[in-house]
Amino acid sequence: MSPKSLQGTDYPEIREEVIKLCKQYPGEYWRKLDREMAYPSEFVKALADAGYLAALIPEEYGGSGLPLSASAAILEEIQRAGCNGAACHAQMYIMGALLRHGSEAQKQQYLPGIASGELRLQAFGVTEPTSGTDTGALKTVAERRGDRYVVNGQKIWTSRAEHSDLMLLLARTTPRDEVTRGIDGLSIFILDMNAARAAGGLAVRPIRTMMNHSTTQVFFDDVEVPAENLIGEEGRGFRYILSGMNAERILIAAECIGDAKWFIERARDYANERVLFGRPIGQNQGVQFPIAKAYAQMRAAELMVHHAAKRFEAGENVGEQANIAKMLAADASWAAAEVAVQTHGGFGFAEEYDVERKFRETRLYQVAPVSTNLILSYVSEHVLGLPRSY
């Protein structure tokens, strides 16, 4: 089996170019960043300069105008090369809210800069310490005062906030006791983080985690946002971000497929090369079968990711497909990670092999951006029609 047998056949030219770019950032580059918990600025700039982060932005705004499946192919190959697309993947899907629901003036103001890489829109301010996935319980408030909104509150698990120029911010614009449902009365804004920092109202504090994910908590103290930075209609923000979450799930699922392929390739190669008792360890079925099973699991999840992407591109409602694709792909990448560690034995824990780093990174997708349990709850209630669980 050649290395290319694990490579997808869709968008072969794009995949080959992404592979070439990623070869410039080998394991040594990522290990150094991981030790220092540093942001891969050079890698992100290279992706932006090559136009990959602007894949979904229409050509009239400086992007490539490619379909979601092309972006999925880009992220898959980044992960398959052993790199980490999580450092910048949000640049692809966060701008979807602006593209779908923003005004033409907003698109003209921000999308060309995002497409060129001049502006980084990588921070998504949603989760709060007391709400978690209960979005309707958000407490961050944006109060309208004349021609501006004044924001007060706190966000947590906001990745890349230290390295982003802009944030897509979800805040409450109508008090909770004045709406029927908690998800009503929420609005989204484009926040100029540089201006907010300069004014002294925005504070960003890093959170050290088990993987180098550049995650933070963000504090808003009378942060002023121009009224023209409101995206769409006031109070409809939750509906707007929902439309982007399906794209996010599909793209993250593609990353998981890339991770799974990386782990499977590494396990296969090591099993062929490692000789004990005069023969390769891969000659033992106890080593072979787990790798083969991980491969089969990855292939099945890959089909679901492609299916979800195609339906998304056709404009269909893909809540079921996107969520299932994300869950299956995350499960496949985690299963492949465990196989890679087991195959490598003690060397699986050695930094120089990169298995332990990727093991930590891919574990995240069992939890975020949506946990496996929440996906199962969604499928139970909204697909199978089972009673809502509490």
pLDDT digits (tens, 9 = 90+) for 173-193: 999 999 998 899 999 999 999
pLDDT at 15 over 50: yes
Determine the Cα angle at 76 with ends 75 and 79, to 5°.
Answer: 85
Residue 22 and residue 77 in contact, taking contact as beta carbons nearer than 8 Å: yes
Cα gap 230→171, rounded to integer Å: 11
Instruction: Specify burial of residue 159 (Cβ count, 10 A radius: 0-12, 13-18, 19+).
Output: buried
Residue 267: both structure tokens together: 């396990």
First to last CA, the chain: 48
- For the segment 59-81, the average pLDDT, to the nearest whole number, is 97
Cα gap 212→29, rounded to integer Å: 13
**Measured in whole angstroms, how far is the alpha carbon of residue 370 from the centre of its chain?**
10
The model's confidence at residue 1, banded by pLDDT at 50, 70 and 90, is very low
Residue 122 and residue 88 in contact, taking contact as beta carbons nearer than 8 Å: yes
**Which of left, alpha, beta for 103 (phi over 0: left; psi -120 to 50: alpha)?**
beta
- The pLDDT value recorded for residue 6 is 53
Cα gap 387→145, rounded to integer Å: 43
- The pLDDT value recorded for residue 8 is 59
- For the segment 227-245, the average pLDDT, to the nearest whole number, is 93
- The pLDDT value recorded for residue 388 is 87
- The pLDDT value recorded for residue 9 is 64
Average pLDDT of the chain is 94
Residue 125 and residue 191 in contact, taking contact as beta carbons nearer than 8 Å: yes
- The pLDDT value recorded for residue 159 is 93
pLDDT at 127 over 50: yes
In this prediction the pTM is: 0.94
Cα gap 160→87, rounded to integer Å: 7
Cα gap 160→206, rounded to integer Å: 9
Query: What is the secondary structure of 257-290 as a DSSP string?
Result: HHHHHHHHHHHHHHHHH-EETTEEGGGSHHHHHH
Q: Read off the DSSP letter of residue 211.
A: S
